[in-house]
Chains A and B, each alone.
Chain A
Amino acid sequence: MSVSLTLTYITTKVPNFAQGALVTAGMYTGFALFSINKINPYESLPVSFLVGGLIAIGIYLLVLRPLSKRGAPIISLMIATLAVDIIFVGIFGIYSDYLYQVKEVYDAKLFYALTGADFTLFGVNGVAYAAPTALALTTVILYLVLTRTRFGLAMRATVENSNLAKVIGINTEVVYVTSWFIAGGVAAIAGVFYSFWLGGEPDIGSILLISMFAGSILGGLKSIYGAVFGGLVVGGSEIIVTTLGAQYVGSWVTAYEPGIPLLVMVVTLLVLPGGITSLDWRRLFSRGRQ
């Protein structure tokens, strides 16, 4: 999730508050296909990817591009993505009510983890293997695309300096649309994995958003690899701290789980506003000079 947020941030320089909506979109695509068509969410992952990607392209083309062309300030862009998020909460709300009343899917409004659809391996739920594998795959593919292909070169050039990229003949629009598509797809897949782990509801994105922001900020908001790291740290610390806390302090700790990413965010912003990647770079540079 943090990876996709960073991907949209580096391309448009706007924190996308609608990112939670993309995650929820993936979640509900997987859920609907599972409960109506009995298709295993793992098999419908490509569909979820496509849905998330197309929604992301829609957000970019219909809302953000026209706005930034008019030279709207960043505050307007942020509130516009928040508006998009709210529109999607409405859409998912309508969709879940529709599933509930017309298709008679009675847990559509608030469903629990789809562990029933998951496979088990050595007594551990399949998602525990699948999600890290998917993350590793995504990172490796992104790395290869960014460093080994002409398109990746164009993408990096656009991110570094979009005007200069335009001058040398790169179609920056294609780059933007593609990166939003990938970002949306990745977010949607993350949503599917999340629904294996915990349940979902139409407004789940608002809580997930804290974790995503925390991961991206910790990763420095500018680097995809930083976001992978940040996401791992935030997700890992959420689970580890709450599990340990529940064991040693009391079960009430689990309820405050969303406080951990918030804490991570606050500490990062206070101690290391550039995120983890800014720190590493500086060290590498100073060593290089010595």
Chain B
Amino acid sequence: MVFLGIADWSTFLSGLLAFFALYLIISISLNIEMGYAGIPNFGKVLYFMGGAAFSGSVAIRAAAWIMHISGNVVGLDNFLIAGKLTSMLQSDIPASLALIAITVAVGGAVGGVLGYISIFPAIRLREDYLAMLLLGSAAFFQIFLGNYTPIINGTLGIGIPNFFAWAGSYSTVGATLLIAAFAVVVYVYAERLVRSPLGRTLRALRDNEAAAEALGKDTVAIRRNVLIIASIITGVAGALYTIYTGDTNPAIYDRVTWTFWPWLIVILGGVASNSGVALGTFVFVFLLQYIDATKFYLQNVLPFDVTWLEYLLFGSLLIVVLLLRPQGVLPEKPSHTLAKSEISKIIERPDGEKEG
């Protein structure tokens, strides 16, 4: 039954959840960098791309090694080998789980290394120079992946085995749940970070660096740690995306999808507000997925690709938000050190006892 233009609601909702979780992870990590630590990262796609490409490359090699398959796994036989490995892994749950863990770990490690490299410009340069440099580096890294064949076979990309093959027809659901679980972990971590002493230090550093330094905070070390943590998170997101789609290809890591959309989400939802970012992610991903699912109606009428309309729509949306509500839909609130329930308990206490 076609309802609201969507024929297959279960596929739609499953895709919605996967992309919601994925974009939540990336946007939260961007929010930690930009909203709390004040590092405007215009090269978000760099860490995502690194995590996704290298984890995919390692994943299929590791799988081939475990299953004793030889041959050029990232060459011409790649898709044959990936298919063969998928059928072998179907009955081998422990190996599948181990490979998932390896893939995620590689993604995080690569993201972390790239983050470590970006520290050097990030702590020295002013934000405009930094933005240009990171944007440029990301574009170059994409070209590098497209031309250096040993990693993911250049522009052709590689397929990796399906690590959820043992779940049968639920394999996509398995990958979706994996991303969702990680998104929950990241969200909880970000919320706890904001309420922790480190979170308060970060905001102090963002709002008045000189004052934070005068109070004895090592601003360089804090920035460095934040950038590495956020990069690791983004790298893992890349690995999860590779597991989810089952292939990796330089063409999919463009700056619109993985740098600009997360920025749009964070600004739409509210800079330095985790709940705002979650709301922004939901609104954005819902719109994106809905357009994707229904665009073939328009496609028959229009003499051009509907994807370009998405660019127009979301680009304009960002400018409108910046003009009309620069603080976002759910702006930053003073964060409470205690949980909300504790605070309401304190408020409900009889007069004279309000403290803490």
Instruction: Name B309's closest neighbour in chain A (CB-CB).
Output: A90
Within the complex, which residue of B132, B264, B303 is in contact with A265, where a contact is CB–CB below 8 Å?
Answer: B132
Please indicate the chain B residues that have their CB under 8 angstroms from the CB of A94 in the complex: 304-305, 308-309, 312
Q: Which of B56-64, B96-104, B187-195, B315-323 lies at the interface?
A: B315-323
Interface centre among B129, B263, B308, B326, by most chain A C-beta atoms within 10 angstroms, is B308
Q: Which of A69-77, A130-138, A145-153, A164-172 lies at the interface?
A: A69-77
In the docked arrangement, what's the CA distance between A262 and B303, Å? 37
Q: Which of A78-86, A174-182, A241-249 lies at the interface?
A: A78-86
Encode contact with A along B111-147: 1 for CB under 8 Å, 0 otherwise. Answer: 0000000000100110111011101110110011011
- A258 touching B143 by the CB < 8 A rule? yes
Chain A interface residue bracket vs B? 35 or more
Given contacts A75-B127, A90-B310, A269-B125, contact A17 B135 (CB under 8 A): yes
A207 is an interface residue with CB less than 8 A from chain B? yes
A55 is an interface residue with CB less than 8 A from chain B? no
Encode contact with A along B282-317: 1 for CB under 8 Å, 0 otherwise. Answer: 000000000000000000000111011111101110
Please indicate the chain B residues that have their CB under 8 angstroms from the CB of A36 in the complex: none
B260 is an interface residue with CB less than 8 A from chain A? yes
Within the complex, which residue of A82, A86, A89 is in contact with B42, where a contact is CB–CB below 8 Å?
Answer: A82
Within the complex, which residue of B303, B308, B322 is in contact with A79, where a contact is CB–CB below 8 Å?
Answer: B322
- B136 touching A214 by the CB < 8 A rule? yes
Please indicate the chain A residues that have their CB under 8 angstroms from the CB of B260 in the complex: 82-83, 86
- A76 touching B322 by the CB < 8 A rule? yes
- B311 touching A87 by the CB < 8 A rule? yes
Instruction: Name B255's closest neighbour in chain A (CB-CB).
Output: A206
In the docked arrangement, what's the CA distance between A15 and B330, Å? 28
Given contacts A78-B128, A209-B136, A210-B140, contact A90 B326 (CB under 8 A): no
- A76 touching B326 by the CB < 8 A rule? yes
In the docked arrangement, what's the CA distance between A15 and B322, Å? 17
In the docked arrangement, what's the CA distance between A94 and B302, Å? 10
Within the complex, which residue of B125, B308, B319 is in contact with A80, where a contact is CB–CB below 8 Å?
Answer: B319
Within the complex, which residue of B128, B143, B303, B307 is in contact with A15, where a contact is CB–CB below 8 Å?
Answer: B128
A217 is an interface residue with CB less than 8 A from chain B? yes
Q: How far is the CB of A43 from chain B (nearest CB, A)?
A: 28
Within the complex, which residue of B135, B143, B256, B326 is in contact with A256, where a contact is CB–CB below 8 Å?
Answer: B143
Please indicate the chain A residues that have their CB under 8 angstroms from the CB of B133 in the complex: 265-266, 269
Q: How far is the CB of A20 from chain B (nearest CB, A)?
A: 10
Q: How far is the CB of B23 from chain A (nearest CB, A)?
A: 16
Encode contact with B along A103-143: 1 for CB under 8 Å, 0 otherwise. Answer: 00000000000000000000000000000000000000000
Please indicate the chain A residues that have their CB under 8 angstroms from the CB of B243 in the complex: none
In the docked arrangement, what's the CA distance between A103 and B259, Å? 34
- B140 touching A259 by the CB < 8 A rule? yes
In the docked arrangement, what's the CA distance between A213 and B128, Å? 11
Q: How far is the CB of B140 from chain A (nearest CB, A)?
A: 5
Within the complex, which residue of B264, B303, B312 is in contact with A90, where a contact is CB–CB below 8 Å?
Answer: B312
B34 is an interface residue with CB less than 8 A from chain A? yes
Within the complex, which residue of A76, A97, A217, A256 is in contact with B305, where a contact is CB–CB below 8 Å?
Answer: A97
- B256 touching A89 by the CB < 8 A rule? yes
Encode contact with A along B169-204: 1 for CB under 8 Å, 0 otherwise. Answer: 000000000000000000000000000000000000
- A66 touching B323 by the CB < 8 A rule? yes
A14 is an interface residue with CB less than 8 A from chain B? yes
Given contacts A93-B305, A217-B129, contact A72 B326 (CB under 8 A): yes
In the docked arrangement, what's the CA distance between A8 and B143, Å? 28
Instruction: Name B323's closest neighbour in chain A (CB-CB).
Output: A66
B237 is an interface residue with CB less than 8 A from chain A? no
Chain B positions 228-280 with a Cβ under 8 Å from a chain A Cβ: 254-256, 260, 263-264, 267
5 inter-chain pairs at a CB distance below 8 angstroms, sorted by A residue, are A91-B308, A102-B303, A206-B255, A207-B143, A217-B129
14 A-B pairs besides A15-B131, A94-B305 with CB distance below 8 A are A72-B322, A79-B318, A80-B322, A83-B319, A87-B311, A87-B315, A93-B304, A94-B304, A94-B312, A97-B304, A203-B254, A209-B136, A210-B139, A255-B147
Considering the complex of A and B, which 4 residue pairs feature the smallest CB-CB distances, nearest first?
Answer: A90-B311, A97-B304, A87-B315, A93-B308
